[in-house]
Amino acid sequence: MTLIVYSEKCTGCGACVEACPFGVLSLEGERLVIGEGCTACGACVEVCEAGALALAEAEGPSPRPEVPPDGIWVFAEQRHGRLAPVTLELLGEARRLAGELAVPVAGVLLGDRVAELAPELFRAGADKVYVAEHPALAEFVEGPFTAALTEMAARFRPEILLAGATYVGRAFIPQVAAALRTGLTADCTAFAIDRERRLLLQTRPAFGGNIMATIITPRTYPQMATARPGVFRRLAEPYADAGQVVPVELSSLQEPGPCTFVGTVEEVRERLPLSEAEVIVAGGRGLKEARHFRLLEELAELLGGAVGATRAAVDAGWIPYSHQIGQTGKTVAPKLYIAVGISGAVQHLAGIQSSDFIVAINKDPDAPIFKVADIGLVGDLFEIVPALIAAIRRDRG
């Protein structure tokens, strides 16, 4: 699509210049100029009362091909036989989308011995499970995973392909999209179907979460997206006990590739991984010292949650990097997020904006965290947190 200006209709009112989210429109005298960076988003077309602006289909490289036959695929991420929770969340979301499109949902398992995970995928929402087993897929390495999923998608042709925006998903799904010559939207937090055009509307945060953007893949298939863990809901009831298992023989994995797995050098052992915790108690520079994180651990334990931290606390060496939340760390989406001694810098907020409920404890009433918190407690954390722990204990007897 490209933006066209009917200059004879343009009144030079400037409404479009105001409306352009990318600031690429300007008036030179009465003449409207489209600068670099127009994404043909159409915001200007909507506000133009004179009807001087329109979006035209560019003579694109290719018209939209026929809808592929194989419905919605969810890449079923697993490690050593344990499924990543986002897989089940995405199968739940895929069911909802599949209902609108009237297509089936398939899970795709890649690994060494993974077929036994198929029933879990059926319960979570899959009609069908593709299984590709190969020793080269025992541990995650970009090359073999890219080759395997690319080959399968090219052979069976899904209309939509979703994967978790985990370290694994974000490492190799872009390569699959590039190999299939199709678009990919990163780290989505909402999906919808445009029924009229039969398109997947993919919504994601950008600019550190200050802006949301809805993105489509209008001309190529599959329509691909990675999705933020913890945002989508798994099905409340099991979908099915069984379904069709399709074993796939891969031809693209014959030789050892240029990149090989050597070994795991460090396992980050967490009692409860941040990505799976319903409650997260996170601490920042306000904790002052490493030993004060004990307080947060105590509170987290009482609430059945996990402990997170800001970059400032991690950089100070108070807690390992695996606990860092935010743009440079993990993105989380718990039911309850308790921010303790955290100012609320945008880079931190980027990682917590999908939380259901946020509580902030900070002694500075002007701290930005109070703008995003559902409840903000102004006060000294060293008084409030112990009192909260005591209140919970008292209540439980």
Partner 1 sequence: MKIIVCIKQVPETDKVRLDPETHTLIREGVQAIINPFDLYALEAGLRLREARGGQVTLLSMGPPQAEAALREALGYGAESAVLLSDKAFAGADTWATALTLAHAVRKLGGADLIVTGKQAIDGDTAQVGPMLATVLGVPYVAWARKLTLTDDTVLEVERLLDHGYDALRVRLPAVVSVVKEISEPRVPSFKAKMQAKKAVIPTWTLADLGLDPREVGLAGSFTQVVRVFPPPARGASEVWTGDPQELATRLWARLKELGRR
Ligand X SMILES: Cc1cc2nc3c(=O)[nH]c(=O)nc-3n(C[C@H](O)[C@H](O)[C@H](O)COP(=O)(O)OP(=O)(O)OC[C@H]3O[C@@H](n4cnc5c(N)ncnc54)[C@H](O)[C@@H]3O)c2cc1C
Among 64, 273, 288, 316, binds partner 1 (CB under 8 A): 273
* C-beta of residue 23 within 8 angstroms of C-beta of residue 39: no
Q: How far is the CB of 245 from partner 1 (least distance, A)?
A: 26
Helix/strand/coil (H/E/C) assignment for every residue in 162-177: EEECCHHHHHHHHHHH
313 is a contact residue toward ligand X (CB under 6 A): yes
The DSSP code sequence of 283-320 is E-GGG-SGGGHHHHHHHHHHTT-EEEE-HHHHHTTSS-
Half-sphere exposure of 204 (CA within 13 A, CB side): 18
Among 57, 100, 294, 357, binds partner 1 (CB under 8 A): 357
Give, rounded to a whole angstrom, the gap between the first and last alpha carbons of the chain: 65
**What does the DSSP 8-state code read for residue 193?**
E
* Dist. CA 363–CA 121, nearest whole Å: 47
> Interface with partner 1 by CB under 8 A: which range of 89-97, 112-120, 232-240, 387-395?
387-395
Among positions 330-369, residues that touch ligand X (CB under 6 A) are 341-343, 345, 347-348, 351, 361-364, 367
Residue 343 interacting entry, from ligand X, partner 1, none, C-beta within 5 to 8 Å by type? ligand X
378 is a contact residue toward ligand X (CB under 6 A): no
Among 39, 45, 115, 119, binds partner 1 (CB under 8 A): 39
119 is a contact residue toward partner 1 (CB under 8 A): no
Among 14, 261, 294, 364, binds partner 1 (CB under 8 A): 261
Among 53, 83, 91, 177, binds partner 1 (CB under 8 A): 177
Residue 383's contacts (CB-CB under 8 Å, 6 or more residues apart) are none
If the CB atoms of residues 95 and 348 are measured against ligand X, the closer one turns out to be 348
Pairing of strands 105-111, 128-133: parallel
* Dist. CA 371–CA 96, nearest whole Å: 33
If the CB atoms of residues 146 and 343 are measured against ligand X, the closer one turns out to be 343
8 is a contact residue toward partner 1 (CB under 8 A): no
Query: Which residues lie near ligand X (CB under 6 A)?
Result: 284-286, 310-313, 324-329, 341-343, 345, 347-348, 351, 361-364, 367, 380-382
